[in-house]
Amino acid sequence: MGHLWILGALILGYILSGEACTCVNSIQCREVEPLYSWRILEHRGTTACPAGQVCCAILWNQSNERNTETPPVVPVTSPKTNFPNWGTKDTAVVHAAPPSTKGKSNPCGLDSTKLIRNGYSLPGQFPWAIALLHNGAYFGGGSLIAPGFVLTAAHFLRYKSAHEIVVRAGEWNLNSPEESFAPEERGVEKIVSHPNFDFKTGANNLAILRLKSPFELKDHIRTISIPMPQSSYDGQRCTVAGWGKRNFEDLNYSAVLKKVELPVLSRYVCESRLQRAKLGSNYKLPASMICAGGELNQDTCTGDGGSALFCSLGNENPDSYVQVGIVGWGLGCGQKDIPATYTNVAVFREWIENNMLPYIYRNGAFKIDKTRQ
C-alpha cells in the first residue's frame, strides 16, 4: 500500500501509517519523510506534528540511517529450504513450466487441501509474486519478469545493499513449512533503481533486481509480461497480490498472500480525488503514476509496496495477466473515494528492457519478451 509544501497543509488530523514520526523544526531536518511512505489515517482531530514542525526521516546530526522505527513485520526465522520434508507432499506435483505460461495464473490454485478465507489468494495462484526478505524478515513485494530479474519499487531499497536482500519465489504462506510446493530463494547480484526516482514524490518509483542465478520456471514459479508503451487500462478491474497489512490498524503484515481487485482510474478522476482528500488543488499526479482503488475496505496497504498490479488479458485468455503497475503510496488504506498510486509500468518498458540487455548478452541465458501476450 514527504513534501515540505504538503506537510504544513496535510498533517492536521492525520498520523503516519505504522511508523513513528519524529517531529522537529524544519531547520533540524536533513530529509523530510517522503510522500510515498505515508499511509495517512484520520485520527479524530489529533495531529501528527505541531504547527511549524515537519515529520523528519533523517536529522542533520544523524548518519544515513533512517530515524523512524521499522514497522512490525512477519518474522521468518530461517529459509524454508532448511525443512527436510518441504515440498514432498503428494497433494500437488510441480512440473517444469514451458515459456508459453508467461503471465499465466493458476486460477484453482495448486493445493485444494487449504481452507482459504475471503481476501486471500489460493496457493500458487499468482506464480510471479515475489517476497523480498532483509535479515530474514519480509519487507516488500516484487514480480518475476524474467527468470533472473525481479521488478519492484525503489523507495524501500534506498538503504539496502544487494547482498542483504533475499528474493523468494513460489511463496504463499511466509510462516508455514507445510505447503505442497517448495518456494525457492536467490541472492541479488545488483540493484538497478531508476535514475530519475524522486524520493519526495515517489515519481519513477521502480527498480530491477538482477539475481545471482535464475529461477527455473515451474507451475508455482512463472514470469509475468509487461505492457507495451502507451497501453491504458483505465476502467478495467485489476488485481494486486501482496503480503502487506490487511487493515491499517494491524500490527503485523499478512503471513498468507492476499489479493484484492481494484478499478484502474483515469488520471483526471485520480487527481481530483487525491486533491479533495487533503492533498489540495495544486497537487498534480506525476506522469509516471497511475491510480487504482477508492472502494471501501478494498485496497493495498502498508507492506504491499513493490508488489504488482496486474490486469487480465481477457477474451480468450482470462487467466493470463500483464503487469500494469507497482504499488507505491496511498492515503490510508481502504477509504472510500481515495485511490492509491502505482508506478505506470508501460511508461518504463524500454528502460526495463535496456537494463536487462547487458546481462542477457553476457550470459546468453534469457530473452526479452517483445510482445504482449
Confidence at residue 40, expressed as pLDDT on a 0 to 100 scale:
40
183 CB contacts (<8 Å, ≥6 apart)? Answer: 80, 81, 168, 169, 170, 171, 172, 220
Question: 252, exposed or middle or buried, with CB in 10 Å at 0-12, 13-18, 19+?
Answer: middle
Is residue 128 within 8 Å of 101, Cβ to Cβ? Answer: no
Per-residue DSSP letter, 175: T
Name the H helices within the chain: 4-10, 267-274, 349-354, 357-363
Residues across the chain:
373
> pLDDT means per 10 residues in the chain (373 residues)?
34 31 69 57 42 68 42 43 32 44 94 88 97 94 97 94 96 86 95 93 95 96 95 96 91 94 96 91 94 95 96 91 96 92 96 80 48 36
Confidence at residue 371, expressed as pLDDT on a 0 to 100 scale:
38
Confidence at residue 51, expressed as pLDDT on a 0 to 100 scale:
59
Is residue 34 within 8 Å of 200, Cβ to Cβ? Answer: yes
Q: What's the sign of the alpha-carbon dihedral 9, 11, 14, 16?
A: positive
Chain centroid to CA 364:
29
CA separation for the pair 38, 1 (Å, rounded): 9
Per-residue DSSP letter, 147: T
Is residue 304 within 8 Å of 240, Cβ to Cβ? Answer: yes
Q: Report the relative pairing of strands 237-242 and 149-152 from DSSP bridges.
A: unpaired
CA separation for the pair 63, 350 (Å, rounded): 36
CA separation for the pair 15, 67 (Å, rounded): 17
Closest CA to 220 of 100, 339, 61, 97: 97
Residue showing cell 513485520: 73
Phi, psi of 35 (to 5 degrees): -60, -45
Integer CA distances (angstroms), 13 to 49, 178, 235, 256, 277, in order:
10, 44, 32, 32, 12
Phi, psi of 19 (to 5 degrees): -125, 145
Sheet containing 53-59: which strands, arranged edge to edge? 22-25, 53-59, 29-32
Confidence at residue 75, expressed as pLDDT on a 0 to 100 scale:
47
Q: Which three cell numbers stand for residue 281?
A: 488543488
Question: Which residues of the chain form beta strands (DSSP E)?
Answer: 12-15, 22-25, 29-32, 41-47, 53-59, 129-134, 137-146, 149-152, 165-169, 184-193, 207-211, 237-242, 258-265, 289-293, 308-314, 317-327, 339-344
Confidence at residue 96, expressed as pLDDT on a 0 to 100 scale:
44
DSSP string computed for 103-129: TB--TT-S-TTS---TTBPPTTSSTTE
